[in-house]
Chain A
Amino acid sequence: MGGVVRRLGAMVVNGVWQLGFAARFFWLILVYSGQSFTRLHLTIRELYFSGVLSLLIILVSGLFVGLVLGLQGYEILQRYGSTDAMGTMVALSLLRELGPVVAGLLFASRAGSAVTAEIGLMKVTEQLKAMDMMAVSPIARVVAPRFWGGVISMPLLAALFSAMGIFGGWLIGVVFIGVDDGAFWSQMQAAVDFRYDVMNGVLKSFVFGVAVALIAVFEGYDCVPTAEGVSRAITRTVVSSALAILALDFVMTSFMFRGL
């Protein structure tokens, strides 16, 4: 019994330490961000690796999610004779929830894990120490550009995911099932509010971008410098990012969309 309590206590203390380290680390990233923006090519390179290289999985997934939404939406809406509202349903589901959340989950698996692996392997091969010994801050040179690459990519990827999803919904609804094209778009246009729906979705994806990018760079920088340590850090990045996205989504949704 005593052992269990001791282990539990150690876990809690360790967790609080980690959280403190992560907060200090986040602060350091912000402090050193100026340096990484003055050498913009570093951040642009990371935008390419995190953003452009994630495009394929984001676009294909967006298309499939839209196709499924179209099928399910039609099946449900036709029970109430309101298949004209299909465009509205597809667009709101994607812009408010599925776009930011699913794109965030995919981004964490595709780009977050890659960032953790890269920084972790740099630590294993002493590249970070070498940089530090050359009087070059690894946080300014390695971490901050990857962090901002993730933060900037995420809202853009979520927007593309939603756009592709809407196209998928249109493809199924209008082209294959035969829902009226005009009704699909006009109902969508009438129901979607730019600030309430679109901007709240963008805000969500920005927050998810900060969370995933921070978790990814922190886990890589903090990993135990062995092969096993890097592998565990990658797993933690994906798991923690997924939980963070879902938890943050609930909190933000409860503030943003209360139907009041």
Chain B
Amino acid sequence: MSEPFVRLENVRFAYGERAILRDISLSIPRGKVVAIMGGSGCGKTTLLRLIGGQERAVGGRVVVDGQDVAGLGREALYALRRRMGMLFQFGALFTDMTVFDNVAFPLREHTDLPPELIEDLVLLKLHAVGLRGAARLMPGELSGGMARRVALARTIALDPALLMYDEPFTGLDPISLGVIGQLIRRLNDALGASSVIVTHDIQESLQIVDYIYFISEGRVVAEGAPDEIRHTKDPFVHQFVHAEADGPVPFHYPAGDYAQALTGGRA
């Protein structure tokens, strides 16, 4: 079996004193779509930032395509990033540029292609996400779902080997959500890329991904292929899949005894 495109080995990360990731080991195999799931604030987005080299791990190793990200200098890191594409939660489109210029941005910055060829490539990418007709619109004129698709077209502009998605389904209507989900799967297969999706949308993810990791309190607490996840007895995954309010992830924030608090004691 070939070396996975991304490998995290016993990764630890903290913002100052606050530990975010305690001991994470996982891998993203080549050509596969992997989802990383967990509640809000469990460190999912931090994982993407570690893979992209925007944060450095406190301990452990983040290896991308055989390179230890922490050991890379600025030039080498930028060279690696040219082979990555990241879709941000709300698209992060450049608001002072048209849709066309947004998608053309990475091509103009990193290639010396003639304008005619760039135009063809941009229209090709926009066509892939179904928005060739919106090329001349400004980001402010797009709906949330359309903006996400334009950002996706920009993400794949340089045909990256690794695609990272930060909460791609957040705030979308069911149709847009389905469209984005299908695009993620289709583009991954068409580009022969590897993809990692950070999300808490379990139902959509189960339909499109090859493997899922569940993270809680900075650790991988469960993992498996979608079929295994659907039938697992693991209490955390069960609570997550069935959206139960209480379980291994408690409903109540830790506090003192309730009865005592009501009868005059301090909570």
**Which chain A residues have a beta carbon within 8 Å of chain B's beta carbons?**
121-122, 125-127, 129-136, 141
Are B84 and A133 neighbours in the complex by a CB distance under 8 Å?
yes
Q: Do the beta carbons of A126 and B94 come within 8 Å of each other?
A: no
For residue B81, CB closer than 8 A to chain A, the reply is yes
How long is the Cα–Cα vector from A127 to B81 in the complex, in angstroms? 16
Per the bound structure, the CA–CA distance linking A127 and B110 in Å amounts to 18
Q: Are A129 and B54 in contact (CB under 8 A)?
A: yes
A129 to B88 Cα, complex, angstroms: 9
Chain A proximity of B151: nearest CB distance (Å):
8
Shortest distance between the CB of B48 and any CB in chain A (Å): 9
Are A133 and B90 in touch, CB under 8 angstroms?
no
Report the tally of A-B residue pairs with Cβ distances under 8 A.
Answer: 43
**Across the interface, which residues of A come within 8 angstroms of B90, CB to CB?**
125-126
Chain B residues contacting A141 (CB-CB under 8 Å) are 109
C-alpha spacing A131/B81, complex, angstroms: 11
Q: Flag if B89 contacts A126 (CB, 8 Å).
A: yes
Closest B residue by C-beta to A132: B54
CB contact between B86 and one of A122, A125, A133 (< 8 Å): that residue: A133
- Taken together as a complex, chains A and B put the C-alpha atoms of A129 and B94 apart, in Å, by 11
Contact partner of B82 among A125, A126, A129, A135, CB < 8 A?
Answer: A135
Say yes or no: A129-B92 contact (C-beta < 8 A), given A134-B105, A134-B106: yes
Determine if A127 and B95 form an interchain contact, defined as CB atoms under 8 angstroms apart.
yes
B191 nearest CB across to chain A (Å):
16
In the complex, B79 has a CB within 8 A of chain A: yes
Task: List 26 A-B pairs, Cβ < 8 Å.
Answer: A121-B95, A125-B90, A125-B92, A125-B95, A126-B88, A126-B90, A127-B93, A127-B94, A127-B95, A129-B54, A129-B88, A130-B86, A130-B92, A131-B94, A133-B52, A133-B84, A134-B82, A134-B105, A134-B106, A134-B109, A135-B78, A135-B81, A135-B109, A135-B110, A136-B106, A141-B109
Give every chain B residue within 8 A of A121 (Cβ-Cβ). Answer: 95
- Complex Cα gap A147–B207 (Å): 48
CA distance A135 to B82 in the complex (A): 6
Tell me the nearest residue of chain A to B160, going by C-beta: A134
A135 — which chain B residues lie within 8 A by C-beta? 78-79, 81-82, 109-110
Residues of the A chain whose Cβ atoms lie less than 8 Å from the Cβ of B94:
127, 130-131
Majority SS at the chain A contact face: helix
Least CB separation from A118: chain B residue? B96
Query: In chain B, what residue has the closest Cβ to A128?
Result: B92
- Is the Cβ of B109 less than 8 Å from the Cβ of A136? yes
Cα–Cα, bound, A134→B110 (Å):
9
Q: Shortest distance in angstroms between A56's beta carbon and chain B's nearest beta carbon?
A: 22
CA of A125 to CA of B109, assembled, Å: 21
What is the 8 Å Cβ interface bit string for chain B, positions 101-113, against chain A (1 contact, 0 not)? 0000110011000
Q: Which one of B54, B88, B89, B92 has the highest number of Cβ atoms from chain A below 10 Å of its Cβ?
A: B92
Task: Report whether A130 and B81 are in contact in the complex, using a CB–CB cutoff of 8 Å.
Answer: no
Instruction: Return chain A residues, CB-CB under 8 Å to B52.
Output: 133
Q: In the complex, A121→B109 CA distance in Å? A: 22
The docked-state distance in angstroms from the alpha carbon of A130 to that of B164 is 12
Q: A136 — which chain B residues lie within 8 A by C-beta?
A: 105-106, 109-110
Asked whether, in the complex, the Cβ of B110 is within 8 Å of the Cβ of A126, the reply is: no
- Which among A125, A129, A130, A131 has the greatest number of chain B C-beta atoms within 10 A? A130
What residue in chain B is nearest A142 (Cβ atoms)? Answer: B94
Shortest distance from the beta carbon of A5 to any chain B beta carbon, whole Å: 23
How close is A209's CB to chain B, nearest CB, in angstroms? 23
Residues of chain B within 8 A (CB-CB) of A126 are 88-90, 92
Given A134-B106, A135-B78, A135-B81, are A127 and B92 also a contact pair (CB < 8 Å)?
Answer: yes
Seed contacts A133-B84, A135-B81; 10 additional CB < 8 Å A-B pairs: A122-B95, A130-B92, A133-B54, A134-B81, A134-B105, A134-B109, A135-B78, A135-B110, A136-B105, A141-B109
Residue of B with least CB distance to A133 = B86
Complex Cα gap A46–B164 (Å): 33
**Complex Cα–Cα for A121 and B94 (A):** 11
Please measure, in the bound complex, the distance between the C-alpha atom of A131 and the C-alpha atom of B88, giving whole angstroms.
Answer: 11
Known interface pairs A125-B95, A127-B94; A133-B89 also in contact (CB < 8 Å): no
**B88 CB contacts on chain A under 8 angstroms:** 126, 129-130
| Complex CA distance for A125 and B108, rounded to whole angstroms | 22
Set of chain B residues within 8 Å of A122, measured between Cβ atoms: 95
Q: What CA separation (Å) do A126 and B266 show in the bound complex?
A: 42
| CB-based nearest A residue for B75 | A135
Query: Chain A residue with minimal CB distance to B158?
Result: A134
* Chain B contacts for A131, CB-based, 8 A: 94
Which are the 7 A-B pairs with shortest beta-carbon distances? Answer: A130-B92, A135-B78, A126-B92, A135-B81, A133-B86, A126-B88, A135-B82
Task: Give the residues in chain A near B93, CB-CB below 8 Å.
Answer: 127
A1 → chain B closest CB, angstroms: 27
**Nearest CB of A to B43, in Å:** 17
Chain B 49-85 interface mask (CB, 8 Å, partner A; 1/0): 0001010000000000000000000000011011010
